[in-house]
Structure 1
Amino acid sequence: MITMGVSGLAELERKLIELGEKVGTQVLRDAGKAALEPVLEDMKQHAGFDDSASGEHMRDSIKIRSSSSKSKGNAVVYLRVGPSKKHFIKALAQEMGTVKQVASPFIRPALDYNQAKVLRILAVEIRDRIENKR
């Protein structure tokens, strides 16, 4: 389990509310995507690749995806980084292993290794984007 300590969320929420829901959600989405860039690159670097396979490779389908919803009046942004649904089984097999395939994790290590970097980038990006929207 990945555990991260974050402080100042009440102040962040006030600043985002000042910007308005639509702009605040966009600030979070853009900052989150920028922060997850190191995880994306790490995953792509360590994802399996088969030269003999035709069509899209799992490595090429790894992207940062976002969605948002309203939860108790607040806008919530969800960000995911990983392969497309089409490559889910292949990614799971590489990550966890199978009877015939030894596990070669690339998703969890990318998250674990870049955790501190993601938090640093996220803090800087949110601060810069809030200041530039005023």
Structure 2
Amino acid sequence: MPLELDVQFDIVIYALLAGLILGMLFDLYRMIRGKSGHKLIIIIQDILFWIFSAIAIFTFLLYTNYAFLGPYVYLCMGVSLFIYLKLFSNFIFKVENGIVTGTKVTIRRGYKNASYPFRLFFNKINNKR
């Protein structure tokens, strides 16, 4: 039984969104992994990333279009991933990097501010200035 047109349209839209999500996950992984590291560790990280990505994308497609995985779903995901990597990846990578850097700075400052009274107290006990 052929699918109705609105169902097919939803499947294509969600497949395109899945490709964009995969691209964003790849940018996040690229930022976390960095450029250096031992080759064996990078291979293990790559395998774990693709397993996690496959689970995340399958779960997304399961909830949005009942995990209908026809050939055009893979084609739409590939096309949207290619477009994302060519057009949006550099900008999104910079935004993600800024968010992560800002989060690190906020956590570091929060820790220093929260630990300052304790450091003062223990320094006075030990007669340190």
TM-score calculated relative to the size of structure 2: 0.36
Larger-Rg structure: 2
Q: Which has the higher helix share?
A: 2
Q: Which has the higher contact order (CA 8 A, sep 6+)?
A: 2
TM-score calculated relative to the size of structure 1: 0.35
Q: Which has the higher strand share?
A: 1
